[in-house]
């Protein structure tokens, strides 16, 4: 049984222009002890999908009735997250069963409360620790993510820390309750390469130590290759390709995945020009019909069925799926 099971997740937002579709028909699972990498350009719907797991999207959010997010915590009955309507019912999910490392650390800390007080409050709320034990544990976690003099930093406010240090403090806070599922939304963006390596090592250690599942959101396929067990490639709110990370990176089947990989610098040919994906992600108000990637797909011919029909997720290899019609699977006659 998966730790987290997401089925047919469709998310729309109410706006003055009408309902805008941000995520459409997304399916994925995360097992205990597994890291799922969610990758795609900005605007692909990665963060909206992640926030849905904790119902953190705005009040104008509309979830399709067919959408299901089921959390299977060992020793507890399966929990349908989208059925929780009251804020107090979400306490068992937010910061307890699921923690999230947000992209922007400054927006995640209360500016008038010290880092330590926020960490201690979270621990006393979600664990059986007393304040003294929670403070000691918080200092240990700050030290584990590479913050020097953690016994002093714990009494500082977020605005007194550098951007990278705030990011590390937020990571320490998210990890301190040892959640069953950790959502890491671009967690190493503000960090230098040395601290980034330390944080990635820490996450791998915690997965091994506590059997924690992780959803790792990034635009960096290099980080995904180092960190994830499986990857899901997302574009304009839909999954384009998913499978074991090495299989997908070595044998990308979808044109979008191929484009992301071709846009990366090549270590064996640093002088080679980068090959960007042509065009831009369209506005949600102008969502393409059929395959949402078809306007930017250089391999399609005019009149292709991808312009009018959305392809199914077709199995390419064991556990490896891509949004392609069966006759277009690589290697097929």
- Structural domain contains residue 239: no
- Distances in Å between the Cα of 135 and the Cα atoms of 152, 203, 275, 306 are 12, 21, 49, 56
Please compute, for residue 124, the number of CA atoms within 13 A of its CA located in the half-sphere on the CB side. Answer: 13
- Structural domain contains residue 303: yes
Q: Find residue 30's DSSP bridge partners.
A: 4
**8 Å CB contact between 81 and 55:** yes
**Which domain covers residue 274, as residue numbers?**
258-328
Q: Hey, what's the torsion of the CAs at 244, 250, 256, 259, to 10 degrees?
A: 150
Sign of CA dihedral 29, 241, 101, 283: negative
**Within 10 Å of residue 185's Cβ, how many Cβ atoms?**
19
**Within 10 Å of residue 239's Cβ, how many Cβ atoms?**
26
- Structural domain contains residue 274: yes
Cα–Cα distance between 282 and 306 in angstroms, integer?
A: 16
With DSSP H G I counted as helix, E B as strand and the rest as coil, what are the percentages for the chain, rounded to 5?
35, 25, 40
Q: How many domains does the chain have?
A: 1
- Structural domain contains residue 173: no
The token duo for 13 is 């937002």
- Structural domain contains residue 17: no
- Structural domain contains residue 291: yes
- Structural domain contains residue 271: yes
Give which of 307, 320, 305 is closest to 257, Cα–Cα: 320
Please compute, for residue 61, the number of CA atoms within 13 A of its CA located in the half-sphere on the CB side. Answer: 19
Task: Give pLDDT tens digits along the chain (333 positions).
Answer: 789 999 999 999 999 888 999 999 999 999 998 999 999 988 899 999 999 999 999 899 999 999 999 999 887 889 999 998 887 778 778 878 898 888 776 667 888 999 999 999 989 988 889 999 999 999 999 998 888 999 999 999 989 988 778 888 888 888 888 888 999 888 876 667 777 777 788 778 877 877 889 999 988 888 888 889 999 999 999 999 999 999 999 999 999 999 998 888 777 777 777 788 888 888 888 899 999 999 999 889 888 999 999 999 999 999 999 999 998 887 655
Q: What is the DSSP letter of 92?
A: G
Range list of H helices, the chain: 46-52, 115-126, 131-144, 150-153, 163-176, 193-210, 221-227, 245-250, 255-262
- Structural domain contains residue 272: yes
């Amino acid at each position: 049984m998966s730790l987290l099971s997401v089925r047919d997740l469709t998310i729309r937002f109410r706006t003055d222009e009408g309902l805008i579709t941000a995520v459409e028909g997304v399916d994925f699972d995360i097992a205990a002890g597994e890291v799922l990498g969610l990758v795609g350009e900005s605007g692909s719907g990665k963060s909206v999908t992640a926030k849905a797991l904790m119902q953190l999207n705005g009040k104008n959010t509309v979830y399709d009735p067919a959408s299901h997010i089921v959390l299977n915590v060992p020793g507890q009955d399966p929990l349908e997250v989208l059925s929780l309507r009251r804020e107090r019912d979400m306490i068992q999910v937010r910061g307890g069963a699921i923690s999230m490392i947000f992209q922007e650390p400054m927006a995640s800390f209360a500016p008038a409360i010290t880092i330590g007080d926020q960490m201690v409050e979270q621990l006393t709320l979600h664990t059986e620790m007393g304040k003294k034990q929670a403070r000691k544990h918080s200092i240990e976690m700050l030290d584990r993510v590479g913050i020097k003099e953690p016994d002093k930093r714990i009494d500082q406010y977020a605005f007194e820390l550098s951007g990278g240090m705030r990011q590390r403090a937020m990571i320490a806070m998210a990890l301190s309750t040892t959640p069953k599922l950790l959502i890491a939304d671009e967690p190493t963006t503000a960090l230098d390469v040395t601290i980034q390596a330390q944080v990635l090592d820490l996450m791998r250690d915690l997965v091994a130590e506590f059997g924690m599942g992780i959803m790792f959101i990034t635009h960096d396929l290099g980080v995904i290759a180092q960190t994830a067990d499986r990857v899901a490639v997302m574009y304009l709110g839909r999954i384009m390709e998913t499978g074991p990370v090495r299989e997908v990176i070595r044998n990308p089947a979808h044109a979008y995945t191929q484009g992301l990989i071709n846009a990366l610098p090549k270590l064996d040919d640093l002088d080679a020009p980068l090959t960007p994906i042509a065009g831009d992600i369209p506005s949600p108000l102008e969502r393409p019909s059929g395959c949402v990637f078809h306007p930017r797909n250089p391999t399609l011919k005019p009149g292709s069925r991808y312009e009018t029909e959305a392809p199914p997720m077709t199995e390419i290899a064991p556990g490896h799926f891509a949004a392609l019609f069966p006759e277009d699977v690589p290697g097929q006659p």
